[in-house]
Amino acid sequence: MAGITFIRFSAFRRYLHLLSLLIWVSCFAESKRRDVIVYGGTSAGVIAAIQAKKMGKSVILVSPDVHLGGVSSSGLGWADSGNKAAIGGLAREFYHRVWRHYQSVDSWRWQKMEDFGNRGQGTPAIDGEKRTMWVFEPHVAENIFEAWVAEFELEVIRNEWLDRQKGVEVRDGRILAINTLSGNRYEGEMFIDCSYEGDLMAASGVTYFVGRESNQVYGEGVNGVQKKLARQHQFLPKIDPFVVAGDRTSGLLARISNEPPGEEGRGDTKMQAYNFRLCLTQNEENKVPFPKPAKYDPLQYELLLRTLIQGSEHIFGKFDPIPNAKTDTNNYGPFSTDNIGMNYGYPEASYEERSQLVAEHETYQKGYFYFLSNDPRVAIELRSRIAKWGLAKDEFQENGHWPYQIYVREARRMVSDFVMTELHLSGQRETPNSIGMGSYNMDSHHVQRYVATDVDGKSYVMNEGDVQLDPGGPYQIPYQSLIPKEEECQNLLVPVCVSSSHIAFGSVRMEPVFMIMAQSAVTAACIAIDGEINVQQVSYEKLKQKLMEDGQVLSLKKNNMIATGYGVNPQKLPGIIVDGERIKLKGEWTRSASLRPFIGNGYFHDGNGGKGMRSAEFPFATTTDGLYEVRVSYIPSGNRAGTVKYVVTSEQGVEEKVVDQRKVDGIGQIWHTLGSFEFKEGKPYSVALRNDDTQGYVVVDALQLLLLD
């Protein structure tokens, strides 16, 4: 875990417990030598240790954590995988083992397998014999990691913390050994930093960066402070920021900064928000009511209350379903589980300070749910709905059913000879020496909450930093991003805190990608050991050959994937076209241009999330009475939703049409008919859809009406 993992203790008591334990174990300190030393008990750390063992090297996994797997086994059960065809090697094996687990009837204690359906599963056409499943319970992920430890007889030292002050022995650009606070010493040929924070990297003297670079540093467009693009997860309508509405002298509500956000595109040292990914359930037998934190303060949630009073319906936006009637519950909306602005010091903080920051996040998030389910000022209907939920009793049983690991979305990032930027991810600049692929949106959560002023001088609350930018399909990750500058360190690889700009890291930072990079990093390390060379001198051709033998995906055919571009010109199409800004969207939709063709300059999708929270309406009026064929456009794909309900309002009344967006049964690939309907001249009509009860990505592109003779 990123912070102290001792459980059932306050932050300060955790620290005292750590000190006393370290004093006790220092009497039994020992030194161990292995070929490969892996630091960090994350999913990447386990994968790294496995790959070293598979390549015949002695390895030891030094883990500050008791529970292995990082956030993959601590609540992030709705895997942010992007294009699953880009995921190979041991990472894909992990998701195959998830699928295999859920094929047993015995795995379904709280829900029938058929009731969950095929959510989050790869298709036989794509997966072949190695079927995959991308949604899972936390304990299932942890059990898979532990089974791997047993299967490969991995040597894992838990609760073992790097001495960050003087614990890394470096001579002539090479790490000789690392020392832990317990007094143990681990000597090796190669070292792999798989921690979320990059602690080993930093203590080794390698250059790194914390925060957001200015756009000018790498010629990017969406790095640094982002106010204009931060359109999602905002307060709508505008919310007054003052304790007494309209009275500046009354002070600001809790959790609003009194500092200006900074100039657009300027760099800073602030962090995108952290939170805990909670595993919730409504099953009465397996539910624990939301606990009241010891330092609960309802005043911390006044801004949330004002948002609810104004009619916000965002609360249930990210209760994503995982097996056995549980959820992976994430941040959603303007005021949610993200603890905005409270993690800036985390990357460089001491263990004690990190523990205190983690405790503050836990108090905030527990208080958030306790407030919603108990405060009498919250509408009774909402309180009743929230109270139906609770923590899953059979998860995180050693920690009061609370996740072991906070979601460290970003901390330090290495600065190497090659820095990945948005230009590389979007294909505007070439990426050399691929060791794996990513594909997820360049995604930053909000960084700060501040006071803005409108043209009339009225103050209101804004969030800053949220960016959702589609890179345009899968992209390659270069070997050079995993290795430091040769003059700084020659036997260290960093597959988590890679050399990347803030906005590019927003896509790279997904758990499957960390696993991919960890496997590739250790493969290179083993080649370097065999050749008695520095990691910077590893032959890419030799590395590439081994990675491909191990099933890593290093490239994909582009097909019709594009980064940006204009699709079919709607002005050149026959009939009535409703596209772009004419579509009325409700909820948070993501604009994309990944699959071509599309109408206009892109299409929208629901991100396969926020089910029941997102809708779209195509309003129109005809210029002639008559019978019209009604068509909708989208590119079919295996990850699309299979049962999208369109509601057509016409002279015949209101009709519902169910469309399978996965099937290629359209007109000219892109258009799909809903049928023929009668419309009167000048009268308002519409075609609408919602993403209720859908499994897969719901796509919204354009509507076409053709007058029939």
Residues 702, 708, 709: CA angle, nearest 5 degrees: 155
What's the CA gap between 301 and 318, in Å, rounded? 19
What pLDDT shows up at residue 472?
Answer: 83
Please, are residues 669 and 633 in contact by the beta-carbon 8 Å criterion? no
What pLDDT shows up at residue 83?
Answer: 86
- Mark the ranges of the chain whose per-residue pLDDT is less than 70: 1-28, 558-566, 664-669
Q: How confident is the model over 105-141, as pLDDT tens digits? A: 999 999 999 999 888 888 777 788 889 999 999 999 9
User: Which domains, ranges and CATH numbers included, belong to the chain?
Assistant: 570-707 (2.60.120.260)
What pLDDT shows up at residue 136?
Answer: 98
Kind and range of the H or E element at 549? helix 540-549
Please, are residues 591 and 602 in contact by the beta-carbon 8 Å criterion? yes
What's the CA gap between 94 and 550, in Å, rounded? 14
Q: How confident is the model over 410-428, as pLDDT tens digits? A: 999 999 999 999 999 999 9
* Helix (DSSP H) and strand (DSSP E) numbers for the chain: 15, 34
Please, are residues 41 and 63 in contact by the beta-carbon 8 Å criterion? yes
Measured CA distances, 288 to 269, 278, 361, 656 (Å): 38, 12, 20, 40
Alpha helical stretches, state H, 117-223? 124-127, 138-151, 199-203, 215-218
| Amino acid (1-letter code) at residue 600 | G
What's the CA gap between 333 and 632, in Å, rounded? 29
DSSP three-state, residue 179: strand
What pLDDT shows up at residue 637?
Answer: 79
3-state per-residue secondary structure call for 229-245:
CCCCCCCCCCCCCEEEC
